[in-house]
Amino acid sequence: MATTELIEFKLHGMRALVTGSASGIGLATAERLARSGAHVAMNDLPTDALTRAVGDLAARGCRVAAVPGDLSNSATARDVGLESLALLGGLDYLVNNAGAPGTRTPIPPADLDALTDDFWDRILRINLLSTFWMTKTLAAALTEARGAVVNTVSVSAFGGGGSSTAYATAKAGLAGLTRELARGLAPHVRVNGIAPGYVNSNWECSFGDMDAAAKATVPLARVGQTKDYADVIVYLCAGASYITGEVVPVTGGTRI
């Protein structure tokens, strides 16, 4: 049965870049934007997953295109940004969603030996620095369009935990970067973030039985679906005209 959206966005003529959009929150966001009429550049690693995601949306009439590249490299991030600008002819919305845990199982906070220099470097590059590189590259275009940036942070930024100490620290840094970019790009560009809790997606790191955990700890008693997060991201892009520098928790009420 088709899902009826309670809130519709009319985004024809708008241009968006969504990073980390081959799956999960990024894919749901790219789909929501494209179904609302926006022209969407979809970035992720150059794999079959990105090709399939773009092909599936295009087959459903969405105006999307792939811009592959590993954003943990500053030069590649710049190239992805510039290629997206050329493809779209400008930019209204930048969704910095690319991120990775770097581990298949959570690393306990006491296991400092697992947090090697290489691990820290990988985690900080993709979860924190990539957002700065992308936003810096695209700042002029966003300013010209009076656009918006939305960053995918994490609830671990505020309470720790998550997949590792390095990941929680990177996301805490991303929350701070969101505020500073909002200061730096005001008044013409709004910069906000969301902080997801449990997510039903093919995330690399497994946290065990999330359904049971959510029923026990989340007031709304369920795991968040990727659409739940995409809805908030698109609202922060296309609406929310008096909100900037904020990171909105989207957790089903976990923190109340």
Q: Which of 12-16, 33-37, 171-175, 205-209 has the lowest mean pLDDT?
A: 205-209
Per-residue pLDDT tens for 159-209?
888 899 999 999 999 999 999 999 999 999 999 999 999 888 887 777 778
The predicted pLDDT at position 256 comes to 82
Question: Is the pLDDT assigned to residue 1 strictly greater than 60?
Answer: no
DSSP string over the chain: -PPPPSS----TT-EEEESS-SSHHHHHHHHHHHHTT-EEEE---SSHHHHHHHHHHHHTT--EEE----TTSHHHHHHHHHHHHHHHTS-SEEEE-----S-SSPPPTT-GGGS-HHHHHHHHIIIIIHHHHHHHHHHHHHHHHT-EEEEE--THHHH--TT-HHHHHHHHHHHHHHHHHHHHHTTT-EEEEEEE-SEES--SS--S-HHHHHHHH-TT-SPEEHHHHHHHHHHHHHS-TT--S-EEEESTTTT-
What pLDDT shows up at residue 143? Answer: 98
CATH number of the domain at 15-249, please?
3.40.50.720
Position 94 scores a pLDDT of 99
- At residue 2 the predicted structure's pLDDT band, cuts being 50, 70 and 90, is very low
Question: Which residues are catalytically annotated?
Answer: 167
pLDDT digits (tens, 9 = 90+) for 60-97: 999 999 999 999 999 999 999 999 999 999 999 999 99
- The reported pTM is 0.95
Averaged pLDDT, 31-52: 98
- Given a cut of 60, is residue 3 above it in pLDDT? no
- Average pLDDT of the chain, as a whole number: 95
For residue 88, the model assigns a pLDDT of 98
Domain boundaries, the chain: 15-249
Q: What is the mean pLDDT of residues 202-231?
A: 89
